[in-house]
Structure 1
Amino acid sequence: MNGGAAAAPDDLLDRFAAHFGRPADGEWSAPGRVNLVGEHTDYNGGASLPFAIDRRARVAVALRGDRTVRVVSTIDERHHESSLDTLAEAAGWAAYVLGVAWAIGQEHALDDKPGFDLLLDSAVPVGVGVSSSAAIEAAVCVALDELWGLGLARDEMVRLCRRAENEVVGAPTGTLDQSAVLFAEPDAAVLLDFGTGASEIVPLGFEAAELDVLVVDSTIGHDHAVGEYGERRRECEAAAAALGSPLGRLTPAELDRRIGELDPLLARRARHIVTDTARTFEVARMLRAGRADEIGPLLTASHVSQRDDFGTSVPAIDVAVEAAVEAGALGARLTGGGFGGASIALVRRADAERVRDAVTRAVTQAGHPRPEIFTARASGGARRER
């Protein structure tokens, strides 16, 4: 499935009725997310500070009288048919939908639950690092929770969505994305402490400060179900085993004293996790104090760490980050899992157009694909729409 121009919200229920020949029981949605700071920290017991964006995945759903499950997307119009007994066999974008139903069924009996018809539409860009997959999962989860009368708590939804992505899709991700899109509030970020399991809503204050976040899509796609993401996770696990502690629970001073116990590669990986967790808590502290316009240098330092220590950036994104800062952005960094995807730039609203133009010019002059740039404003989490 490719994200892009979504169907107008008022059209989704009409399109459902036209496709399935009957009305939907309702429409639910969930946002994509941008991670302000704290990357690859979720599976290391560290911390992250994501916020939901104002681009959403939407699902229209109606229960059936049998155990059949039929799903279709507005993007490619491909029809997938399964049953509640064969959900784990899904592939492609349908795996994100059916995987959630499968995960629910692993922990809640579905013997008396009916199948469903579902129409999916999404305006969340795919392969950019803004959690298009978590948006789909969360929208499906809140819909099925209501329709099946499960009464799931949001933290349980996080766990089920992650299980769907890990075990059906095959992507070895943590819970950052699902937590962000399920707990989000407008003009706020969610501070996620993966060591303690605690979460906190932290007001961003971007609207009052007239700050915008530009998302710079490199158009270089990534796929977390394969390759480098899993390799980084294994490297972190090796470093944690050598140190006898989850990396995210170490302070920078503690790591400095023990970094000689690691080989150079694992030392760099550990240093990124430890310092990015520290940066996350510091950014949250500054936001609580109403100092949103001062967090930029910490965002840029996070990018340097991802580029040099964690090895997850790519040249097109490095050029975009450097150009944004040179053009007046308060800070910029790679966001998401990396190996492609997007960067973000925190800018004063009055400077947004100048930064946008400078980044586009620098990236294309360096011989990289023309980036797609949009403004992301902090949105609310997964919910019923109609």
Structure 2
Amino acid sequence: MSTEVRVPTLGESVTEATVATWFKQPGDAVAVDEMLCELETDKVTVEVPSPVAGTLSEIVAAEGETVGVDALLAQIAEGDAAPAPAAKKEEPKAEAAPAPAAAAKDVEDAPSAKKLMAENNLTDVQGTGKDGRVMKEDVLNALSGAAAPAPAAAPRAPVAADQAAREERVKMTRLRQTIAKRLKDSQNTAAMLTTYNEVDMTEVMALRNEYKDLFLKKHGVKLGFMSFFTKACIHALNEVPEVNAEIDGTDVVYKNYVNMGIAAGTPTGLVVPVINDADQMSFAAIEKAIAEKGAKARDGKLSMAEMQGGTFTISNGGVYGSLMSSPILNPPQSGILGMHKIQDRPMAINGEVVIRPMMYLALSYDHRIVDGKGAVTFLVRVKEALEDPRRLLMDL
């Protein structure tokens, strides 16, 4: 008996993936739930387990191929069945080749796109999604008069033969392509602006040093700076709610909760796991969530759900030594806080020059929804809360 192995559901808004690695080859024995292959989507890596025990008889989708949800990946002969002849490996691909064309005849536009088209009496919008699917961004571009496709990138300048031999060309991963597209879309869409301030980390560092051992002993997790920054941002978002909002067409959607995105660097690129309802969590719960999701990010184990629904983001470039930078918005969010390296600097305090551990803060925001006053107020509230952490306890 032969069992089909198909592409699992990949998550909201994800319709295709690339076959990254096959861990088994035709003829190999497999056990139930043993990993057969790894799929790479726009956001996460998905492992595909074997549904049955038997022998991998046929690989239908080879490494590097793009596959849709529920597409056939392989065949498994249950029990001790012999693998299919190698000559037949290519037959399913040849039969499946016309499928994309057939699917293109009946393409379902994105629901959000159809709603916008109906509201604005649009009937002819050029889709940029798979098989010409109209996405929400396509409708917004049409409404803003920017529906025309962007000019093609200039061709790469010719490279001398002796230089070309020393170059290496590697195809971008789907994650890297998505990062590139989303960040550029963010620049093209939002009226992005950055405001800066600096914070004296003396009090936070002293508080952390005083309680870190007791904190670890009681809660089983280290007390870091991220929980202080998360709490300070939540405090500031309560006063400046537009930084925790997003634009949807001509509406502003205010979020009466805080799902905090914590940007994390991984070997394959930047991901932003989300801590849901961070405004309802204690310091210990926040530190545990950050540690857990950070470990998942490094191991490539984050699920799609764990990276969706964020309302605000914190990015810590300081761990890499960055002294100052302008973070790019994580759409559709309207604000992102950039943390940086803590560095001793001479400061004028009460008429005297003293050395203090200082950090530059940067808030990038969407000026379409957040005014300069709100952005500056937000950063000042974060600064005040970090320089006197007791304010967090008293909600001042």
What TM-score does the superposition give when structure 2 sets the normalisation length? 0.21
Choose between structure 1 and 2: higher helix proportion: 1
Larger radius of gyration: 2
Choose between structure 1 and 2: higher strand proportion: 2
The one of the two structures with greater contact order (alpha-carbon pairs below 8 A, sep at least 6) is: 1
What TM-score does the superposition give when structure 1 sets the normalisation length? 0.22
